[in-house]
Every structure is written in C-alpha cells, then in structure tokens.
Amino acid sequence: MNSAPAPTWKHAPGVRASLALLVIACILPVAAVASFLIVNFYTKERAQLIEHTVSRARAVIAATDHDIESIQLALQALSSSSMLQNHDLAGFHQRASSLVGKLRADSIVLIDTDGTLLLSTRRPFGAPLARLGRAPLLQRILASGQPGVSDMFIGPVVGKPICTVGVPVLRDGAIVMTLNAILTPDRLLHVLSEQKLPPNWRASVLDTQGRIVTRSHDMAKYAGQQVNATLRQHLASASESGLATRTLDGQDVYVVYSRSTRTGWTAVLGIPSAELTAGLYNTLTWLVSVTIAALGAGMALAWLLGGRIARSVQALVAPARAVGGGERLPIPPLHFREAQQLGQALHDAALSVQRARADTRESEQRLALAANAAHLGIWTRELHSQDIWGSDQWRALFGFPPGQQLTLSHLLAKVHPDDRAAVQRTLNNAMHGAPRYDMEYRVLLAGGEQRWIGSHGSVEHDADDRPLRVRGVSLDITPRKQAELDVLQKQKEVTHLSRVAMLGELSGALAHELNQPLTAILSNAQAAQRFLAQPAPDLAEVAEILADIVDEDKRAGDIIQRLRRLFSKQDMPPQRLDAGALVVGVIRLVRNDLINHGLAVRAELGEEALAVDADPVQLQQVLINLLMNACDAQPSDGVIVVRVARDGDAVQFSVIDHGAGIAPDMLPRIFDPFYTTKARGMGLGLSICRSIAAAHHGTLWAQNNPDRGASFHLRLPLAQVEAGGSAP
Ligand code: ADP
C-alpha cells in the first residue's frame, strides 16, 4: 500500500480572521468612494458659492457707484443754481442745507480753488470757517474738470473718518470752486445691507488705499482703518479675485472682492471659513462615524459567525479522527448546512470503515484458514529496513519461534549454504526492478533436517515507483522436490539402460574391432616364441615384436576403456570438449558397425576449432544414437555425413543420411517416447537425446532433406573462449 506523504500546510488564518478581513475589504472601499464623492461634491459647491459671492460683490460695488453718481448729479444740479452764479452765498447756504437731508450727506461744503472753505451747511452762514488746503480730490477735480470722490480721511470739522463727493463749479467755463458732499461711513451702509447677507458674513467697501469706507459689522470701530497687508497686496494685483485671510476683527474668512473702474473702490465680501468647510467636515465626520459603526457591526458579526463556523468545524475533528481508527463518535449539533453535510459524510464514512474493517477481518481469517489448509506461510519484507513479518505457519516452515524479531539476515542464515548465493541474487533483482520472483531453495533446520521451500514474492512500489516492500507466500515443497529427484534418477537409469542397449547393438562390431589387436598380439607372440626357440635368438627382433605387442595391447585397452566409459552409470561433470575430436571419437566407435552395413561415414569438420561445455558420455550417446538411426534408415552403399559448423554463438552438429526420410505427419511424433517404426525398436532413443540436449541448454530437431533422406541437428551453446585449450 502506498502511503501519501503527510500534508504540509502553511499557517492559515482562522475563519474569524478571514471573515473580519472580508468585512474590511467590503466596507473600506465603499467608504473611500463615498468620501471621494463627498469631497468632489463640496469642491463644486464651494466653487459655486464663491462664484455667486463674486456676483454679489459686483452688485455691491455697482450700487456704491450708483449712489455716488446720484450724489454727483444732485451736486452738479446745485452747482449750476443762479444763487451761486450771482454770489448769493447766503441763499445758496439755505438751499444747500435743504438738500443735505435729501442726499443723506453729513453736510455740503463749498471750497475755493485754493482750498478755502467758503461755506458749510454744518455752520450757520457767516460763521468763521477753517482753511482746508488743496486736498487730493480738489487737485483731481481742478486737473480733470470732472466730478470725483475722495478716499477716507479724518474730517477737520467732524473729527471722524469721512469721504467727500465733489463736483466742479464753473463760471464762464472755468472752475471757480468745488461743491462737495461730506459722507460719513454709515451713509453707504445700505449698499451692504441690501444684499441681505447671512449675519455672520463680513462685508465692506474699501477706498483706493484699502481703507474701510463702510462695513457690515462694527463700522464705528473700523471705518477708515486699512485692511491687512495680504489683502491689500492682493487687491493691487487683480480687480476681482478671492483669498483666504483674517478680518480686522479676527475672523477667518474666505474673501471675494470686486473693484469699480469708476471710483477705484472695492467691494469685499467675507465668507466665514468655517461655513465653507463645516459642511464638508460634518459630512466627512458623519461618513467616518458610519464607516466605523459599520466596521464595528461587521466585525462583531464576523466574530459571532466565525466562532460558530469554527466551532462547527472543530466539533467534527474528533469524529473525523475516530473514523481513521474505525470508531464512531456521536456527531454534535451543528449550526450550518455544509457542516451538517460534512457531519453526515463522516457518519457514513465511519460506517463504511467499520464495515470494511469487518470485511477485512473476515477475509484475513479466510486467508489465514486457506493458508493454513494449504500449508502456506505468508510474509512481508520491508525493503528499507529488511524487517520481516511472517505468519505462524511461515515461521514454522523456517523453524523460527513465534514472536522473534526477524530480518533478512536471520532468513539467509537458515538457507542452505549451496543455495544462499542464488537466493541473494534473486532478492537483489527484486530490489532493482524485477516485479516478482519465484525461487526454490533448501533450508537447514535444527537437527540437520533439510527442507525444500518454494517462495513466491511480489514487489510493491511507492508513489515514485521506488520498491517499497515485498509480499509473498512460501511453501514446503520437499515432497515434490523428492519426487522430482526420484524421476530424475529414473530418467538417468533409463538413459543408461538405453545406452547399454545401444552398445549391445554395437557389440558385434566392437568385438570385431577388438579382434584385430588380439589377433595381432597372438601372431606376434607366436613369432616371438619361434624366435626364442632358435639356438641364437635375435633379441633385437624379439624386442621389436614385444614393442608391437605392447602397441596392439594399448589399442585394445583404448577400445575397452571407451566402452567402459559408455557402460558407466556415472554422469561426468561438464568438460570443455572439442567438437571435431568428439565426432572423430564417435565415428571410430561405430565405424565397424557401419562397415558391416556397407556404409561409409564422412566427417565435415571445417577449419575452425569449436568447443562446447558438456558431459562427454552423454554427448557421445546422442551422436551414436543419431548415427545408428541414420544407419537403420540408409540402404547399403550409401554415405552418412556428420557435419560440425558454427552458427552464431552456437555449434551445430548435423547427421545427414540418404535414407527414406520421415513421413511428414510423423515428424512431430518421432521425439515422443516409445514412438518407433522398427520391429525391434524401443522408441526411446530420440526422446532421451532431446532431454540430453535440453540439459545442455541446446536443442535437437529433425527435418527431411530436399532430395532424399533426413537430417538431425543438435545445437549447443559455444563454450566461452578462455585460455588453456580444451579436453576431447
Ligand atoms: P527407435 O530407433 O528405437 O525406433 P528412436 O527414438 O531412435 O527409436 O527413433 C524413433 C523413430 O524415428 C524411428 O523408429 C524411426 O521411425 C524414426 N527415425 C529415427 N531416425 C530416422 C532417420 N534417420 N530416418 C528416418 N526415420 C528415422
């Protein structure tokens, strides 16, 4: 089973913190947009108010101009009166006095061109009057011949700030005097009050020097005073504008002004700064309060809701853990549908897990029962630690007591020393990619008992496809192994018997071959006897005869030796054999038999020396068998070819005859045991030959020749090249 790695999570915020963030993320942008809109709205409002106030300042200055103009018109009318032309100053005084009230002037004065006060309605006619000197207004009127208005100054008669409106008095086209109306600050106050400004607004009319001509508040105190330097500088730079400043009575205002082109006077209206910004600040304060309240309420709700969600989720943690352990905890009451669904899912999962566990237990018991019945030992080996878990049955197989901690080295110690390397090799292969394996090996139990074990293992991998553990079963296969060994033994015996039978067939020819050296020995011995019977035997001749006898005896000995080897019941260990020498030896053994049949053998051995690793006796048996079959199939006077050739990394021995060949439908059957077409045949030869070929990792097969006869081919692996040569 692949175990997924434990999850690694970064520290995550809780539900409460997340909900609080959500509240902030919802409310703050709305508040920011609202404040932007509010500021925007107020900026426009302010601009409109200022615009409107400029119009009102214009109206104030226009009204002032109009007032002064009407005074000038009245004065001009008065200056052209006949009394003045006729020097009737007494009459003129009376007339002027009657006009003062109408003009709402403080007084009317007549001034000589050199500044002498000729008449003042403030004084009874004839009373002595002060000399004034040439005031700026007088100079202007004399210079321009046009009516004018003065700036504010302290009146010499009234001793208070006043201004005058003057017109020239002409006689015969020349200016002889000026007629002036003296105006006190309250005279022009109405131009301000007519605007009906809000009571806390400040309004005033300033002369060309920035002195207050009239003022909406505390006029008596401030009339004739100059406004502050900032405002004066501003007034000098533009005829109409606005700026934030402070009034003489210390109020912060935004002033808007407009200057008359006619008099050079300026109407100034001051809007209290507080009024301009108070609305904005109030609204912003309100917005901030609402935002804070909304945030507070949102946070409280987030806290409340977050708490409930968190509690619902936390309440499911213990039941969820219990599911893993196969337990079933009661699901507490939950406040959210999703949590309830999760609770339901956990409840269902717990039920499934319990059921699955019960099923697993059941199948484990069944498996254990089956394993016991089949005498199977079950085991698991962790590849990283090589720790082994094994069922009791498995422990019994290897003779391990129950409860002993086991690793691979414990197991290997039990394996038969001859099998240990092979077992180790198979286990290593499992570590390096082989998905499963089967192996058979012996274990040594206490008391020297030997047991054959068959093991089947299957490798499990982790998520990255790395081998993790091997799981498998082991079985006592001693009885089967014993049976197999018995069969092998029997097979060997059959092979031997067949060999003996084969040699029986050959024995006539062998007796004939043995006859030759024996006859030669006999005649040589008789010749020696004859030589020795002579009075003076030629000993040199006798020695020569004895040497011949020794040679012939050796030859006979060789023949007997070869036969004995073939009769021998013992298998020989594989030897390095030269293929050509082997064939030559076999031909020598059967040559006489072939000659008896009137057949010849031709060996085609090729140039290359080819070697195989094999049991020489068994290989001779195969070749003799094939040659004798060929001999049986071949009519007299034929030639049998024995060929040795290299085929890639193998050596191929071919026995080719020119007999009747094999019926095609019989080709697949000739290697079956007891298949024979011969009257005295046993039908075991080819079947034994094939099993010998297989034991040597080779193959044996037959085919019919294209012209006539059959060929039998034995293919064996070529021996690995190594220095030291080969044994025939
Ligand atoms: P046996 O020689 O005792 O019959 P074998 O197993 O050696 O047993 O041969 C089985 C049969 O195969 C033979 O009976 C024969 O019919 C056939 N056979 C073997 N070799 C040849 C051959 N060279 N040509 C034709 N038939 C052959």
14 lines ligand 1 (CB under 6 A): no
Contacts by 352-358, CB closer than 8 A, 24 or more apart? 353/323, 353/324, 353/326, 354/326, 354/328, 357/326
502 lines ligand 1 (CB under 6 A): no
Distance 616 CA to ligand 1 centre (A): 23
**Which of 494, 622, 629 is the pocket-test mutation for ligand 1 (most atoms within 8 Å of CB)?**
629
3-state DSSP of 125-145? CCCCCCECCCCHHHHHHHHHC
For residue 634, pLDDT over 60 is answered with yes
Query: Which CATH number do you get for residue 679?
Result: 3.30.565.10
User: Is residue 327 situated within a structural domain?
Assistant: no
Q: Are residues 260 and 388 in the same domain?
A: no
714 lines ligand 1 (CB under 6 A): no
303-312, 406-415, 687-696: which has the highest mean pLDDT? 406-415
676 lines ligand 1 (CB under 6 A): yes
Q: Are residues 497 and 467 in the same domain?
A: no
577 lines ligand 1 (CB under 6 A): no
Q: Are residues 442 and 471 in the same domain?
A: yes
Distance 588 CA to ligand 1 centre (A): 22
Q: Closest residue (by CA) to atom 11 of ligand 1?
A: 676
| Mean of pLDDT values over 56-67 | 95
Q: Are residues 437 and 558 in the same domain?
A: no
* Residues sharing a CB contact under 8 Å with residue 324, sequence separation 6 or more, in sequence order: 353
630 lines ligand 1 (CB under 6 A): yes
| Mean of pLDDT values over 457-463 | 92
* Banded pLDDT at 506 (limits 50, 70, 90): low
pLDDT tens, 540-571? 888 988 998 998 898 788 777 766 776 666 66
Helix (H) or strand (E) holding 601: strand 600-604
626 lines ligand 1 (CB under 6 A): no
Q: What is the predicted pLDDT for the residue at 263?
A: 92
Q: What is the predicted pLDDT for the residue at 728?
A: 37
Q: Are residues 445 and 536 in the same domain?
A: no
Q: What is the predicted pLDDT for the residue at 566?
A: 67
703 lines ligand 1 (CB under 6 A): no
Q: Are residues 542 and 623 in the same domain?
A: no
Nearest atom in ligand 1 to the alpha carbon of residue 659 is: 24
- Domain C-terminal end among 271, 289, 307: 289
Q: What is the predicted pLDDT for the residue at 723?
A: 43
* Residues sharing a CB contact under 8 Å with residue 163, sequence separation 6 or more, in sequence order: 149, 150, 151, 152, 153, 182, 183, 207, 213
Domain tally, the chain: 4
Check: CB of residue 379 under 8 Å from CB of residue 371. Answer: no
pLDDT tens, 143-168? 999 999 999 999 877 889 999 999 99
224 lines ligand 1 (CB under 6 A): no
Residue closest to 701 by CA, chosen among 718, 686, 685, 682:
686
Q: Closest residue (by CA) to atom 12 of ligand 1?
A: 670
272 lines ligand 1 (CB under 6 A): no
pLDDT tens, 16-60? 889 999 999 999 999 999 989 988 998 998 899 899 999 999 999
Percent pLDDT > 90 in the chain is 55
Domain that holds residue 158: 53-289
Q: Are residues 531 and 613 in the same domain?
A: no
**Which of 676, 689, 714 is the pocket-test mutation for ligand 1 (most atoms within 8 Å of CB)?**
676
Q: Are residues 483 and 463 in the same domain?
A: no
Q: Closest residue (by CA) to atom 4 of ligand 1?
A: 676
Q: Are residues 491 and 551 in the same domain?
A: yes
Question: Which structure tokens are listed for 119?
Answer: 């008449």
| Mean of pLDDT values over 455-478 | 92
Distance 499 CA to ligand 1 centre (A): 15
Distance 657 CA to ligand 1 centre (A): 12
Distance 422 CA to ligand 1 centre (A): 40
662 lines ligand 1 (CB under 6 A): yes
Q: What is the predicted pLDDT for the residue at 508?
A: 62
For residue 107, pLDDT over 90 is answered with yes
Query: Which CATH number do you get for residue 546?
Result: 1.10.287
Nearest atom in ligand 1 to the alpha carbon of residue 687 is: 6
Q: Are residues 722 and 589 in the same domain?
A: yes
Query: Which CATH number do you get for residue 435?
Result: 3.30.450.20
Distance 676 CA to ligand 1 centre (A): 6
Q: Closest residue (by CA) to atom 19 of ligand 1?
A: 629
Diameter over CA atoms, the chain: 229
Distance 714 CA to ligand 1 centre (A): 15
* Banded pLDDT at 691 (limits 50, 70, 90): confident
User: Is residue 294 situated within a structural domain?
Assistant: no
The SS3 assignment for 716 reads strand
634 lines ligand 1 (CB under 6 A): no
Nearest atom in ligand 1 to the alpha carbon of residue 657 is: 23
Q: Residue 319, by phi and psi: left (phi above 0), alpha (psi -120 to 50) or beta? A: alpha
DSSP annotation string for 346-399: HHHHHHHHHHHHHHHHHHHHHHHHHHHHTTEEEEEEETTT-EEEE-HHHHHHHT
* Banded pLDDT at 4 (limits 50, 70, 90): low
Percent pLDDT > 70 in the chain is 96
Question: Which structure tokens are listed for 718?
Answer: 């070529």
* Strand ranges (E), 67-209: 107-112, 117-120, 148-149, 153-154, 161-171, 174-183, 202-206
User: Is residue 46 situated within a structural domain?
Assistant: no
Q: What is the predicted pLDDT for the residue at 537?
A: 84
For residue 230, pLDDT over 90 is answered with yes
User: Is residue 629 situated within a structural domain?
Assistant: yes
- Domain C-terminal end among 527, 553, 570: 570
- Domain C-terminal end among 570, 591, 613: 570
Nearest atom in ligand 1 to the alpha carbon of residue 680 is: 3
User: Is residue 322 situated within a structural domain?
Assistant: no
Distance 634 CA to ligand 1 centre (A): 11
User: Is residue 310 situated within a structural domain?
Assistant: no
Check: CB of residue 226 under 8 Å from CB of residue 216. Answer: no
Q: What is the predicted pLDDT for the residue at 338?
A: 87
Q: What is the predicted pLDDT for the residue at 513?
A: 66
Residues belonging to the chain: 728
Q: Which of 84-88, 360-364, 429-433, 519-523 shows the lowest per-residue confidence on average (mean pLDDT)?
A: 429-433
Q: What is the DSSP letter of 660?
A: S
Nearest atom in ligand 1 to the alpha carbon of residue 683 is: 8
User: Is residue 416 situated within a structural domain?
Assistant: yes
667 lines ligand 1 (CB under 6 A): no
Q: Are residues 578 and 566 in the same domain?
A: no
Q: Closest residue (by CA) to atom 8 of ligand 1?
A: 683
Distance 621 CA to ligand 1 centre (A): 15
pLDDT tens, 321-358? 888 887 888 888 888 888 889 889 988 988 888 898 89
339 lines ligand 1 (CB under 6 A): no
Taking the model in full, what pTM does it have?
A: 0.47
Distance 677 CA to ligand 1 centre (A): 7
657 lines ligand 1 (CB under 6 A): yes
3-state DSSP of 8-29? CCCCCCCHHHHHHHHHHHHHHH
pLDDT tens, 257-304? 999 999 999 999 999 998 888 888 888 899 899 999 999 999 999 999
Q: Are residues 115 and 257 in the same domain?
A: yes
User: Is residue 336 situated within a structural domain?
Assistant: no
